[in-house]
Amino acid sequence: MKPECILAIDLGTSGPKVALVTTEGEVLASEVESTELFLSDGGGAEQDPDDWWRAIMTATRRITDRELVPRDRIIAVAVTSQWAGTVPVDEAGNAISRAMIWLDSRGAKYVPEVAGGLIRIQGYGALKLESWIRKTGGVPSLAGKEPVAHILFLRHERPEIYEAAYKFMEPKDYLNLRLTGRFMATVDSIALHWVTNNRDINNIKYDDQLLAQTTIPREKLPELTRSVDVIGTLTPTAAAELGLNENTKVVGGTPDVPAAAVGSGAVGDFEGHLYVGTSSWLTCHVPFKKTDLLHNMASLPSALPGRYFIGNEQETAGACMTWLRDSVFFRDDVLDPGEAPEDVFERFNELAAEAPAGSDKVIFTPWLYGEHTPVADHNLRAAFSNLSLRTTRAHMVRAVMEGVAYNTRWLMGGVESFIDRPFEGIRFIGGGAKSGLWCQIFADVLDRPIDRVADPLSANVRGAAFVAAVGLGKLAVEDISSRVPIEKRYTPDRNNRAIYDELYKAFLEIQKNNTAMYRRLNG
């Protein structure tokens, strides 16, 4: 008999990946589609929810039409997606505007009106700060790249959309709405609204005081459930569009960060994993609720029942390599270099390998769209430092890879302080993990063993499938790690220790010495 499977949908910033995954975590097939990103002056970053759905339908039908397993063996759909976005929908469940995604910072100027007070600590009113941290573990980001700021922006600058909105939905929860017709959010996806009391991990609920502080009306937010709970079955329309049975269950699902934590196999407390895709993060599950306001990270509800994980994210990681490809090496302009070859990133790796460790002291700071953690500063910008007439393209490509690693080391200092112990090893997932050179750079810069997970690009869909399998009673949490094999371990090269310590110190100095300038230029 064919295995029972989960249709896992992972909506990333560049588009969705859809996969057919067995309840044991084996990926039988996957398809990818692209979606458009609309950037605008003032920090705008939007996407079209209908474009998301079109891409998901297209990718899903390419899988279901192949009939790899009978459709009655596809027992559930599980969604993971980009986090901290806002989709305004009407009472019929239709999106009434483009979604403001996690990169959108246009609402930053309105956050102080809900976060401030007479006595301020790091920009927050002391009483409000205490309430947010005690109940949620964190606070609305002053950088404005979260739903609180999005909703405030709509209220002030798009009042017709704000008034017409029946609910404001996270991207994942919007997709579940399209699948089931139900206005639901999971307790992990809603966490970055900072309106739920998370002190009792098994009884998370909206809090009237927090709702009043953020000024978000309760009636404009969806009902809550757990990531592992079945929230319904496919509507006839969704089933027909996806090529699935109408009785296919839809599980609550989880945003990309907690999905990756599960899909990496690092499900034990204090077991770290690093993700490098468009953005990046370094996190682990923890058995306690805690907040580090200085480094903008906190314990947030995990996708796994009764568990927390450390919430953090760095804004641009793999996006720096994409920028290098599209805006520096292969831009359609009067120099006419032509289209980038399909294997351009493999060529980047070969080129970067020609430069020595440390790139002859060329340093790249990867803040192309500001930063979220370990500092919340949307004014920071990227730069190449210490270029000379001897600098080559090989130096620049390797410096970008090393700069992302320096940024992760900066974050790691906060994470390891948070858990009060060093990581014994770090599982590596995402597109960045495909590069053996980048794996070694991370091992050398972080001075930690890096374990590249097999099939690192499938971590999110695998994590979404595991969450569904746990919810359906098909898999135990403690069995997940053994279902995610390690492909290769990269150990730190001690010969590179001195140069990376020196350049990491300079990296931090660049941030410290230029913060005021970036604020003047971009504030």
The whole-number pLDDT of residue 122 equals 77
d(CA 426, CA 429): 10
- Say if CB 19 and CB 64 are below 8 A apart: no
Residue where the block lists tokens 């009785």:
247
| Residues 6+ positions from 329 with CB-CB distance below 8 Å | 337, 340, 344, 393
Measured at the CA of 472, the angle between CA 467 and CA 477, to 5 degrees, comes to: 45
> What does pTM read for this prediction?
0.89
Indicate the helix (H) or strand (E) that contains 334. Answer: none
pLDDT in tens, 441-463: 999 999 999 999 999 999 999 99
Q: Amino acid identity of 97?
A: S
Q: What does each C-alpha distance from 318 to 279, 433, 516 come to in angstroms?
A: 6, 10, 26
pLDDT at residue 142, as a whole number = 87
* Mean pLDDT across the chain: 95
| pLDDT value at residue 118 | 81
Cα gap 44→65, rounded to integer Å: 38
Element containing residue 417 per DSSP (H, E): helix 393-419
pLDDT of residue 349: 97
Number of Cβ within a 10 Å radius of residue 246: 12
Q: What is the CATH number of domain 5-264?
A: 3.30.420.40
Domain extent listing, the chain: 5-264
Nearest Cα neighbor of 135 from 225, 205, 223, 85 is 205
**Which segments in the chain show pLDDT lower than 50?**
none
- Contact by Cβ (8 Å): 182, 191: no
Exposed / middle / buried, residue 91 (Cβ in 10 Å: 0-12, 13-18, 19+): exposed
Q: Are 191 and 227 in contact (CB under 8 A)?
A: no
Tokens of 462: 């695998």
Instruction: Name the token pair of 268.
Output: 């034990």
The pLDDT of residue 417? 96
Amino acid of residue 119: I
Of 228, 304, 227, the residue nearest 268 (C-alpha): 304
Nearest to 241 by CA among 497, 65, 430, 16: 65
Backbone φ, ψ for residue 125 (5° rounding)? -60, 135
Q: What are phi and psi of 355, to 5 degrees?
A: -90, 150
Contact 408, 274 (CB under 8 A): yes
